[in-house]
Amino acid sequence: MADKFATEDTTTEKTEPDAVKEVSDDFVTRQHTAPSGLAYTTTTGRLVLRREEIKDGKSEGFKPKAEIFVVAYTKDDGDQNRPVTFAFNGGPGSSSVWLHLGLLGPRLVNSGDVGSMTPPPFGLVDNPESLLEHSDLVLIDPVSTGFSRVIEGEKPDEFHAFIEDRDLVAEVIRLWTTRNNRWLSPKYLVGESYGTLRAVAVAGRLFDAYGMAVNGLGLISTVLNMSTLRFFPGSDTPYALHVPTYAAIAHYHGRHPGRELADVVREAEEFAARDFGYALSQGARLTEPEYDDVVTRLSALTTLDEAFIRRTNLRWAYHEFAAELLRADGLVVGRIDGRFTSPPANLQSSSSNDDPSMRAITGPFAAAINHYLRAELGYENDLPYEILTARVHPWSYRTFEGAPVDVSEVLERLMVHNPALRVHVDYGYQDGATPHFAAEYVFAHMKLDEQARARISHHYHEAGHMMYLKPECRLAQLEALKEFVTV
């Protein structure tokens, strides 16, 4: 760009090769009426996020960085007393489609459930119990998911990181709240999977950076400390915390005949927390009789063969369990949802990274969102809507510098600084991705007084990671969330 003090002839037309391409929001609005008679407006499109650029200590103005796709549902003639719920999924790399069309929104994907999946071309049905009946909704897709992209010339990898993702989602919420004059509305964040970790981090960012206090956090299929889930040498905790989930999945597949699920899970939890945890901590110090006893009890609970348990020295990762549980039946079980099964590509493989549950549900959700956004919400974009993308990997956790990825201390601080903050937690017993006992372990180790703990409600479902695939679980979830956002 020419120096503004240059003496050359300024009437000559100049080109600016480094000029930033002008971008703007591209929202589309539509009016709707729910079967209940609720009149509402959808606002669908991409919100341009800008950030101040500083060079040599001087501001170069606010430059566009990313276009973030959101779908907002607002009740017509609503007021500031009506709650607003901001929701997103996890991954990292997942769009908000799962919570959007699986649970919260006024329309549901007609996917079916395990054993009775809907065949193509799938479809959409009304969701009479939608949270929209009680709260406005804003569904957010982080960078590289859904239709969200960085501006031309920017680097998407910059936003594929814990802190940058946290700050971006928080800025979307701040900006939407400001533009829609909702600072005095009750505000809730609902996340699923990695989205639960994101929800806590974003709530902390909103409080620290903008002074925005939220009323509640909805945590669905929770992970607040990654070290409880990741299997690696030297860390025995995840091996124990997965045992109740193994037992629950085995029970679903008929491996504990005549027993109630609650009874099996309770026994597995007690064994994992006491005897198995002790046995793992002893390593080679465990006596042979003690070792034999642990193998026998572990086999009875997980229904895995004792020879397998001995070969793994009491320690195996979930993908090994998925391949082993129903090997004799020629099947592998799902990770996102252990109720799902399919024949493996290689029955001799010692592990399974193929997830039959994700393969079963991705088609219905992809068809539904691609139809719904264009045909019913009126938003048109020729980009592929990224349902669950690997483009965000490797995801950066550089902020933690070798420490566990953990936001439990952030939640502790929020619960203290905001004595009105409440937390709703949903667990799926057959969830192999975020086992319920691992999340319970983190909550149990948080430094909270009894009054703060009383503000955390725990809800359990006989289903997987996306427990709302099961109709009765979805109804129970929505009833509890209704009470959560209207208290």
Topology annotation, domain 28-227+366-486: Rossmann fold (3.40.50)
E strand intervals along 353-476: 422-428, 456-461
Domain locations in the chain as residue ranges: 28-227+366-486, 236-357
Averaged pLDDT, 334-347:
93
Is pLDDT above 60 for 429?
yes
Buried b / exposed e across 335-354, counting CB within 10 Å, b at 16+? bbbbbbbbebeeeeeebbeb
Contact criterion met (CB below 8 Å) for 131 and 478:
yes
pLDDT grade for 20, boundaries at 50, 70 and 90: low
- Look up the pTM and report it: 0.92
Is pLDDT above 70 for 16?
no
| DSSP code for 435 | -
pLDDT grade for 233, boundaries at 50, 70 and 90: confident
Contact criterion met (CB below 8 Å) for 463 and 337:
yes
pLDDT grade for 9, boundaries at 50, 70 and 90: very low
Averaged pLDDT, 235-258:
97
> Quick one: 21 exposed, middle or buried, by C-beta within 10 A (0-12, 13-18, 19+)?
exposed
pLDDT grade for 91, boundaries at 50, 70 and 90: very high
- pLDDT of amino acid 7: 30
> Quick one: 301 exposed, middle or buried, by C-beta within 10 A (0-12, 13-18, 19+)?
buried
Strand-pair category, 84-88 with 39-55: unpaired
Residues of the chain above pLDDT 90, percent: 87
Strand-pair category, 216-222 with 187-193: parallel
Is pLDDT above 80 for 3?
no
Residue 112, strand partner residues: 117
Q: State the Cα–Cα distance between residues 464 and 427, nearest whole angstrom.
A: 8
Q: Could you tell me the CA-to-CA distances from 232 to 162, 228, 229, 248, 411 in Å, in that order?
A: 21, 11, 10, 23, 26
Helices (H), 218-317: 237-241, 243-252, 261-271, 277-282, 288-302, 306-311
pLDDT grade for 13, boundaries at 50, 70 and 90: very low
